[in-house]
Protein backbone atom coordinates (compact mmCIF):
# COMPACT_ATOMS: atom_id res chain seq x y z
CA UNK A 1 0.00 0.00 0.00
CA UNK A 2 1.32 3.47 -0.93
CA UNK A 3 2.02 5.65 2.11
CA UNK A 4 3.35 9.25 2.09
CA UNK A 5 5.94 10.70 4.45
CA UNK A 6 3.23 12.04 6.79
CA UNK A 7 1.76 8.55 7.24
CA UNK A 8 5.18 6.90 7.61
CA UNK A 9 5.97 9.40 10.40
CA UNK A 10 2.68 8.59 12.08
CA UNK A 11 3.41 4.85 11.92
CA UNK A 12 6.83 5.44 13.50
CA UNK A 13 5.00 7.02 16.43
CA UNK A 14 6.31 10.56 15.77
CA UNK A 15 2.79 12.05 16.06
CA UNK A 16 1.80 10.17 19.18
CA UNK A 17 0.18 6.85 20.04
CA UNK A 18 -3.42 7.95 19.38
CA UNK A 19 -2.61 9.06 15.84
CA UNK A 20 -0.72 5.82 15.21
CA UNK A 21 -3.72 3.81 16.37
CA UNK A 22 -6.02 5.81 14.05
CA UNK A 23 -3.80 5.21 11.02
CA UNK A 24 -3.49 1.50 11.82
CA UNK A 25 -7.30 1.27 11.79
CA UNK A 26 -7.43 2.89 8.34
CA UNK A 27 -4.72 0.55 7.03
CA UNK A 28 -6.61 -2.53 8.25
CA UNK A 29 -9.74 -1.21 6.53
CA UNK A 30 -7.75 -0.57 3.33
CA UNK A 31 -6.38 -4.12 3.39
CA UNK A 32 -9.84 -5.65 3.90
CA UNK A 33 -11.15 -3.75 0.86
CA UNK A 34 -8.01 -4.01 -1.30
CA UNK A 35 -7.53 -0.23 -1.35
CA UNK A 36 -4.16 0.74 -2.82
CA UNK A 37 -3.90 4.16 -1.20
CA UNK A 38 -5.31 6.67 1.22
CA UNK A 39 -6.90 9.80 -0.24
CA UNK A 40 -7.34 13.23 1.40
CA UNK A 41 -10.79 14.19 2.65
CA UNK A 42 -12.40 17.61 2.93
CA UNK A 43 -14.61 16.81 5.93
CA UNK A 44 -15.73 14.18 8.40
CA UNK A 45 -19.01 13.55 10.20
CA UNK A 46 -18.80 11.43 13.32
CA UNK A 47 -21.56 9.21 14.74
CA UNK A 48 -21.49 7.44 18.09
CA UNK A 49 -22.39 10.50 20.14
CA UNK A 50 -25.48 9.74 22.19
CA UNK A 51 -24.85 8.14 25.56
CA UNK A 52 -27.87 5.95 24.74
CA UNK A 53 -26.01 4.30 21.86
CA UNK A 54 -22.36 4.23 23.03
CA UNK A 55 -22.81 3.78 26.81
CA UNK A 56 -19.96 3.79 29.34
CA UNK A 57 -17.69 1.61 27.20
CA UNK A 58 -17.83 4.14 24.35
CA UNK A 59 -17.24 7.05 26.71
CA UNK A 60 -14.16 5.36 28.22
CA UNK A 61 -12.76 4.64 24.76
CA UNK A 62 -13.19 8.28 23.76
CA UNK A 63 -11.56 9.53 26.94
CA UNK A 64 -8.53 7.30 26.27
CA UNK A 65 -8.25 8.76 22.76
CA UNK A 66 -8.59 12.35 24.03
CA UNK A 67 -5.97 11.76 26.74
CA UNK A 68 -3.47 11.01 23.96
CA UNK A 69 -3.89 14.73 23.11
CA UNK A 70 -4.77 14.15 19.50
CA UNK A 71 -6.61 16.61 17.27
CA UNK A 72 -8.63 16.09 14.12
CA UNK A 73 -6.90 17.08 10.91
CA UNK A 74 -9.96 18.02 8.87
CA UNK A 75 -13.21 19.97 9.50
CA UNK A 76 -15.25 17.52 11.55
CA UNK A 77 -18.86 17.71 12.70
CA UNK A 78 -20.81 15.59 15.15
CA UNK A 79 -24.01 13.56 14.93
CA UNK A 80 -26.93 14.18 17.32
CA UNK A 81 -26.36 13.55 21.00
CA UNK A 82 -29.03 12.34 23.44
CA UNK A 83 -29.82 15.71 25.01
CA UNK A 84 -30.72 19.29 24.16
CA UNK A 85 -28.99 21.11 27.03
CA UNK A 86 -31.01 24.28 26.37
CA UNK A 87 -34.44 22.65 26.21
CA UNK A 88 -37.26 22.89 28.75
CA UNK A 89 -37.73 19.11 28.39
CA UNK A 90 -36.67 17.03 31.38
CA UNK A 91 -33.86 14.70 30.36
CA UNK A 92 -32.70 12.25 33.08
CA UNK A 93 -29.94 13.95 35.12
CA UNK A 94 -27.40 11.10 35.11
CA UNK A 95 -27.86 10.81 31.33
CA UNK A 96 -27.27 14.57 30.91
CA UNK A 97 -23.98 14.38 32.83
CA UNK A 98 -22.64 11.46 30.79
CA UNK A 99 -23.72 13.20 27.60
CA UNK A 100 -21.87 16.36 28.58
CA UNK A 101 -18.68 14.32 29.13
CA UNK A 102 -18.97 12.71 25.68
CA UNK A 103 -19.37 16.05 23.92
CA UNK A 104 -16.55 17.64 25.93
CA UNK A 105 -14.29 14.76 24.96
CA UNK A 106 -15.01 15.16 21.25
CA UNK A 107 -14.58 18.92 21.54
CA UNK A 108 -11.17 18.40 23.15
CA UNK A 109 -10.16 16.53 20.00
CA UNK A 110 -11.12 19.54 17.85
CA UNK A 111 -14.49 18.17 16.68
CA UNK A 112 -17.18 20.83 16.22
CA UNK A 113 -20.14 20.02 18.51
CA UNK A 114 -22.73 20.60 15.76
CA UNK A 115 -24.77 17.60 17.00
CA UNK A 116 -26.85 17.20 13.86
CA UNK A 117 -27.38 14.47 11.27
CA UNK A 118 -27.89 17.17 8.60
CA UNK A 119 -24.40 18.72 8.71
CA UNK A 120 -25.11 20.11 5.22
CA UNK A 121 -27.66 22.50 6.83
CA UNK A 122 -25.08 23.55 9.40
CA UNK A 123 -22.04 24.61 7.41
CA UNK A 124 -20.49 21.23 6.55
CA UNK A 125 -21.54 21.30 2.88
CA UNK A 126 -19.23 19.29 0.60
CA UNK A 127 -18.92 20.12 -3.09
CA UNK A 128 -19.62 17.68 -5.89
CA UNK A 129 -16.72 15.24 -6.24
CA UNK A 130 -15.29 15.94 -2.78
CA UNK A 131 -14.03 12.90 -0.90
CA UNK A 132 -15.39 12.90 2.64
CA UNK A 133 -15.56 10.43 5.54
CA UNK A 134 -19.04 10.50 6.97
CA UNK A 135 -20.71 8.15 9.36
CA UNK A 136 -24.52 8.42 9.93
CA UNK A 137 -26.26 6.51 7.18
CA UNK A 138 -28.83 9.21 6.31
CA UNK A 139 -26.13 11.86 5.88
CA UNK A 140 -23.96 9.46 3.85
CA UNK A 141 -26.71 8.68 1.36
CA UNK A 142 -27.68 12.37 1.05
CA UNK A 143 -24.05 13.37 0.45
CA UNK A 144 -23.49 10.71 -2.22
CA UNK A 145 -26.83 11.02 -3.98
CA UNK A 146 -27.97 14.64 -3.69
CA UNK A 147 -24.70 16.52 -3.19
CA UNK A 148 -22.53 14.31 -5.42
CA UNK A 149 -19.82 14.06 -2.75
CA UNK A 150 -18.09 10.70 -2.29
CA UNK A 151 -18.15 8.69 0.91
CA UNK A 152 -18.53 5.16 2.14
CA UNK A 153 -20.77 4.52 5.13
CA UNK A 154 -18.15 4.92 7.82
CA UNK A 155 -18.48 3.57 11.34
CA UNK A 156 -18.01 5.86 14.33
CA UNK A 157 -14.47 4.52 14.70
CA UNK A 158 -13.41 4.73 11.06
CA UNK A 159 -14.87 8.27 10.68
CA UNK A 160 -12.96 9.41 13.76
CA UNK A 161 -9.76 7.75 12.50
CA UNK A 162 -10.18 9.42 9.09
CA UNK A 163 -10.83 12.79 10.75
CA UNK A 164 -7.62 12.44 12.78
CA UNK A 165 -5.42 11.37 9.86
CA UNK A 166 -7.24 13.53 7.28
CA UNK A 167 -7.50 10.64 4.81
CA UNK A 168 -9.60 7.55 3.95
CA UNK A 169 -8.85 4.34 2.07
CA UNK A 170 -9.75 4.65 -1.62
CA UNK A 171 -12.43 2.02 -2.27
CA UNK A 172 -16.21 1.61 -2.67
CA UNK A 173 -18.11 4.83 -3.36
CA UNK A 174 -14.88 6.85 -3.57
CA UNK A 175 -14.37 5.26 -6.99
CA UNK A 176 -16.47 6.55 -9.91
CA UNK A 177 -16.93 3.05 -11.36
CA UNK A 178 -18.76 1.92 -8.21
CA UNK A 179 -21.41 4.66 -8.33
CA UNK A 180 -23.46 3.34 -11.26
CA UNK A 181 -27.08 2.30 -10.67
CA UNK A 182 -27.77 -1.41 -10.26
CA UNK A 183 -31.59 -1.44 -10.06
CA UNK A 184 -34.15 0.59 -12.01
CA UNK A 185 -37.19 1.33 -9.82
CA UNK A 186 -40.34 2.33 -11.69
CA UNK A 187 -43.15 3.48 -9.43
CA UNK A 188 -46.68 2.92 -10.72
CA UNK A 189 -48.34 4.54 -7.76
CA UNK A 190 -49.08 8.19 -7.12
CA UNK A 191 -46.47 9.29 -4.61
CA UNK A 192 -48.13 12.15 -2.78
CA UNK A 193 -46.65 12.80 0.63
CA UNK A 194 -43.24 12.74 2.31
CA UNK A 195 -44.38 9.55 4.08
CA UNK A 196 -45.01 7.88 0.69
CA UNK A 197 -41.37 8.58 -0.21
CA UNK A 198 -40.31 7.15 3.13
CA UNK A 199 -42.44 4.01 2.70
CA UNK A 200 -41.04 3.49 -0.80
CA UNK A 201 -37.46 3.93 0.45
CA UNK A 202 -38.10 1.56 3.33
CA UNK A 203 -39.41 -1.15 0.98
CA UNK A 204 -36.38 -0.89 -1.32
CA UNK A 205 -33.91 -0.54 1.56
CA UNK A 206 -35.20 -3.67 3.25
CA UNK A 207 -35.33 -5.79 0.11
CA UNK A 208 -32.45 -4.74 -2.13
CA UNK A 209 -28.78 -3.85 -1.92
CA UNK A 210 -26.80 -1.82 -4.43
CA UNK A 211 -27.71 1.54 -5.99
CA UNK A 212 -31.35 2.11 -7.01
CA UNK A 213 -32.30 4.49 -9.83
CA UNK A 214 -35.79 5.91 -9.30
CA UNK A 215 -37.98 6.82 -12.24
CA UNK A 216 -40.99 8.52 -10.67
CA UNK A 217 -43.21 11.08 -12.37
CA UNK A 218 -43.38 13.37 -9.34
CA UNK A 219 -40.72 16.02 -8.84
CA UNK A 220 -39.53 15.71 -5.24
CA UNK A 221 -38.65 18.49 -2.83
CA UNK A 222 -35.09 18.40 -1.49
CA UNK A 223 -36.59 17.29 1.84
CA UNK A 224 -38.31 14.35 0.12
CA UNK A 225 -34.91 13.18 -1.12
CA UNK A 226 -33.62 13.41 2.46
CA UNK A 227 -36.54 11.32 3.73
CA UNK A 228 -36.26 8.81 0.89
CA UNK A 229 -32.53 8.40 1.48
CA UNK A 230 -32.86 7.91 5.23
CA UNK A 231 -35.45 5.18 4.63
CA UNK A 232 -33.28 3.44 2.03
CA UNK A 233 -30.39 3.53 4.49
CA UNK A 234 -32.32 1.47 7.07
CA UNK A 235 -30.93 -1.34 4.91
CA UNK A 236 -27.60 -1.46 3.09
CA UNK A 237 -28.18 1.27 0.48
CA UNK A 238 -25.73 4.20 0.60
CA UNK A 239 -26.48 5.91 -2.71
CA UNK A 240 -29.39 6.34 -5.13
CA UNK A 241 -30.14 8.20 -8.33
CA UNK A 242 -33.39 10.00 -9.15
CA UNK A 243 -34.22 10.51 -12.82
CA UNK A 244 -33.68 14.12 -13.95
CA UNK A 245 -33.04 15.26 -10.37
CA UNK A 246 -29.86 13.96 -8.70
CA UNK A 247 -26.56 15.20 -10.14
CA UNK A 248 -25.09 11.92 -11.40
CA UNK A 249 -28.32 10.35 -12.71
CA UNK A 250 -27.69 11.46 -16.32
CA UNK A 251 -24.25 9.79 -16.43
CA UNK A 252 -25.68 6.31 -16.89
CA UNK A 253 -27.58 4.17 -19.41
CA UNK A 254 -30.27 2.36 -17.50
CA UNK A 255 -31.70 0.13 -20.25
CA UNK A 256 -29.72 -2.94 -19.31
CA UNK A 257 -29.96 -3.00 -15.52
CA UNK A 258 -32.40 -5.09 -13.49
CA UNK A 259 -35.83 -3.46 -13.26
CA UNK A 260 -38.54 -3.58 -10.62
CA UNK A 261 -42.02 -2.08 -10.81
CA UNK A 262 -43.60 -1.04 -7.55
CA UNK A 263 -47.24 -0.28 -6.92
CA UNK A 264 -49.72 0.30 -4.16
CA UNK A 265 -49.19 -3.20 -2.71
CA UNK A 266 -45.52 -2.62 -1.79
CA UNK A 267 -46.11 0.89 -0.48
CA UNK A 268 -49.09 -0.25 1.63
CA UNK A 269 -47.08 -3.17 3.04
CA UNK A 270 -44.36 -0.77 4.15
CA UNK A 271 -46.97 1.40 5.91
CA UNK A 272 -48.30 -1.69 7.71
CA UNK A 273 -44.85 -2.76 8.92
CA UNK A 274 -44.10 0.73 10.24
CA UNK A 275 -47.32 1.09 12.22
CA UNK A 276 -47.97 -0.46 15.62
CA UNK A 277 -50.53 1.88 17.23
CA UNK A 278 -53.24 4.42 16.46
CA UNK A 279 -52.92 6.61 19.57
CA UNK A 280 -49.74 8.50 20.29
CA UNK A 281 -48.36 10.60 23.17
CA UNK A 282 -46.58 13.08 20.89
CA UNK A 283 -45.87 13.71 17.24
CA UNK A 284 -42.14 13.86 16.49
CA UNK A 285 -40.77 15.20 13.20
CA UNK A 286 -37.25 15.87 12.00
CA UNK A 287 -35.68 12.54 11.07
CA UNK A 288 -33.27 13.41 9.55
CA UNK A 289 -33.16 16.78 11.32
CA UNK A 290 -35.76 19.19 9.97
CA UNK A 291 -34.78 21.86 7.48
CA UNK A 292 -36.35 25.30 7.05
CA UNK A 293 -39.29 24.16 4.88
CA UNK A 294 -40.20 21.33 7.24
CA UNK A 295 -40.22 23.66 10.25
CA UNK A 296 -42.36 26.10 8.28
CA UNK A 297 -44.74 23.23 7.38
CA UNK A 298 -45.30 22.54 11.09
CA UNK A 299 -45.80 26.23 11.90
CA UNK A 300 -48.25 26.59 9.01
CA UNK A 301 -50.23 23.53 10.18
CA UNK A 302 -50.81 25.33 13.51
CA UNK A 303 -51.04 22.01 15.46
CA UNK A 304 -53.62 21.57 18.21
CA UNK A 305 -51.54 18.84 19.84
CA UNK A 306 -47.90 18.58 20.87
CA UNK A 307 -45.35 18.32 18.04
CA UNK A 308 -41.66 17.95 18.82
CA UNK A 309 -39.50 19.16 15.94
CA UNK A 310 -35.90 17.95 16.00
CA UNK A 311 -33.44 20.13 14.15
CA UNK A 312 -29.94 21.60 14.16
CA UNK A 313 -29.02 24.30 16.69
CA UNK A 314 -28.59 26.99 14.03
CA UNK A 315 -32.17 26.47 12.80
CA UNK A 316 -33.52 26.31 16.36
CA UNK A 317 -31.89 29.67 16.95
CA UNK A 318 -33.25 31.06 13.68
CA UNK A 319 -36.82 30.17 14.67
CA UNK A 320 -36.47 30.98 18.39
CA UNK A 321 -38.75 34.04 18.38
CA UNK A 322 -40.82 33.05 15.39
CA UNK A 323 -43.08 30.38 16.90
CA UNK A 324 -46.08 31.44 18.94
CA UNK A 325 -47.89 28.09 19.06
CA UNK A 326 -47.07 26.47 22.41
CA UNK A 327 -47.70 23.00 21.02
CA UNK A 328 -44.59 23.26 18.86
CA UNK A 329 -41.38 22.35 20.71
CA UNK A 330 -38.21 22.99 18.75
CA UNK A 331 -35.43 20.70 19.98
CA UNK A 332 -31.81 20.78 18.84
CA UNK A 333 -28.77 18.50 19.17
CA UNK A 334 -30.75 15.28 19.60
CA UNK A 335 -33.60 13.31 18.04
CA UNK A 336 -36.56 11.04 18.78
CA UNK A 337 -34.35 7.95 18.37
CA UNK A 338 -31.10 8.76 20.19
CA UNK A 339 -32.64 10.70 23.10
CA UNK A 340 -33.92 8.58 26.01
CA UNK A 341 -37.62 9.28 25.23
CA UNK A 342 -38.61 5.95 26.73
CA UNK A 343 -37.19 7.15 30.09
CA UNK A 344 -39.05 10.45 29.84
CA UNK A 345 -42.56 9.01 30.04
CA UNK A 346 -43.11 8.69 26.29
CA UNK A 347 -44.56 5.35 25.23
CA UNK A 348 -45.79 6.08 21.70
CA UNK A 349 -44.99 8.55 18.95
CA UNK A 350 -46.35 9.65 15.60
CA UNK A 351 -43.65 10.09 12.93
CA UNK A 352 -43.50 10.84 9.21
CA UNK A 353 -40.08 9.23 8.78
CA UNK A 354 -39.60 5.52 8.07
CA UNK A 355 -36.19 5.63 9.72
CA UNK A 356 -37.65 7.13 12.90
CA UNK A 357 -40.47 4.55 12.86
CA UNK A 358 -38.08 1.63 12.34
CA UNK A 359 -35.63 2.58 15.10
CA UNK A 360 -38.24 3.84 17.56
CA UNK A 361 -39.82 0.38 17.44
CA UNK A 362 -36.59 -1.63 17.39
CA UNK A 363 -34.21 0.44 19.52
CA UNK A 364 -36.45 2.36 21.90
CA UNK A 365 -39.33 -0.11 22.11
CA UNK A 366 -41.95 2.59 21.48
CA UNK A 367 -45.32 2.16 19.81
CA UNK A 368 -45.38 4.02 16.52
CA UNK A 369 -47.87 5.60 14.18
CA UNK A 370 -46.27 6.30 10.81
CA UNK A 371 -48.00 8.67 8.35
CA UNK A 372 -47.61 12.04 6.65
CA UNK A 373 -47.46 15.11 8.87
CA UNK A 374 -50.78 16.23 7.41
CA UNK A 375 -52.52 12.96 8.39
CA UNK A 376 -50.83 12.78 11.80
CA UNK A 377 -52.12 16.23 12.64
CA UNK A 378 -55.58 15.49 11.32
CA UNK A 379 -56.16 12.44 13.58
FE1 LIG B 1 -30.95 11.79 12.45
FE2 LIG B 1 -31.86 10.65 14.59
FE3 LIG B 1 -33.05 10.22 12.30
S4 LIG B 1 -29.75 10.87 14.06
S5 LIG B 1 -31.46 10.42 10.79
S6 LIG B 1 -32.92 12.19 13.37
S7 LIG B 1 -32.59 8.69 13.83
Q: Domains, the chain, ranges and CATH?
A: 5-175 (3.30.499.10), 180-272 (no CATH), 275-378 (3.40.50)
Distance CA 20, CA 16 (A): 6
Ligand 1 centroid vs 109 CA: distance in angstroms? 23
- Indicate if ligand 1 lies below 6 Å from the C-beta of 230: yes
pLDDT at 309 over 70: yes
Q: Which residue's alpha carbon is at the smallest distance from atom 2 of ligand 1?
A: 335
Residue-level pLDDT at 68: 83
- Indicate if ligand 1 lies below 6 Å from the C-beta of 288: yes
pLDDT at 9 over 70: yes
pTM metric for this prediction: 0.97
Q: Output phi, psi for 251, to 5 deg.
A: -75, -20
Residue pLDDT, tens place only, 64-116: 888 888 999 999 999 999 999 999 999 999 999 999 999 999 999 999 999 99
Mean pLDDT of 186-191: 90
Residue-level pLDDT at 189: 85
pLDDT at 379 over 80: no
Mean pLDDT of 360-367: 96
Ligand 1 centroid vs 117 CA: distance in angstroms? 6
Mean pLDDT of 59-68: 89
Mean pLDDT of 45-60: 96
Q: Which residue's alpha carbon is at the smallest distance from atom 7 of ligand 1?
A: 337
Residue pLDDT, tens place only, 162-184: 999 999 999 999 999 999 999 99
- Indicate if ligand 1 lies below 6 Å from the C-beta of 184: no
Share of the chain above pLDDT 90, in %: 94
CA angle 349–239–165, rounded 5-degree value: 100
- Indicate if ligand 1 lies below 6 Å from the C-beta of 138: yes
- Write b or e for each residue in 166-199: b if 16 or more Cβ atoms lie within 10 A of its Cβ, otherwise e: bbbbbbbbbeeeebbbebbbbbebebebbbbbbb
- Indicate if ligand 1 lies below 6 Å from the C-beta of 46: no
- Indicate if ligand 1 lies below 6 Å from the C-beta of 149: no
pLDDT at 280 over 80: yes
Pocket test for ligand 1, best of 81, 121, 355 (most atoms within 8 A of CB): 355
Residues paired with 188 in a beta bridge: none
Please provide the average confidence, as pLDDT, over all residues in the chain: 96
CA 286 to ligand 1: nearest atom = 6
Q: Which residue's alpha carbon is at the smallest distance from atom 6 of ligand 1?
A: 287
Longest dimension (CA), the chain: 63
Residue pLDDT, tens place only, 111-160: 999 999 999 999 999 999 999 999 999 999 999 999 999 999 999 999 99
- Indicate if ligand 1 lies below 6 Å from the C-beta of 355: yes
Distance CA 320, CA 337 (A): 23
Q: Which residue's alpha carbon is at the smallest distance from atom 3 of ligand 1?
A: 287
CA 353 to ligand 1: nearest atom = 3
Ligand 1 centroid vs 29 CA: distance in angstroms? 26
Amino acid sequence: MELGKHERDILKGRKGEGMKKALEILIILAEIHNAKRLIPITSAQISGVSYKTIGDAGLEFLKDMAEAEIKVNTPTTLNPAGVDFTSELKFPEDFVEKQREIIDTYTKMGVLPSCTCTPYYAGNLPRMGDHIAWAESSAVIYANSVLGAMTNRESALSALSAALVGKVPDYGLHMKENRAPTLLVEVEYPIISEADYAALGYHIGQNYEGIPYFRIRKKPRAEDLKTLGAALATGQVSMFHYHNITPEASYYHIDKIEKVELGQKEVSEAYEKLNSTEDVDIIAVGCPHAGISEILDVIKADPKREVWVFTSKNLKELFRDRIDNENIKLIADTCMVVSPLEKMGIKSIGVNSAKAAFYSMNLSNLKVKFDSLENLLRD
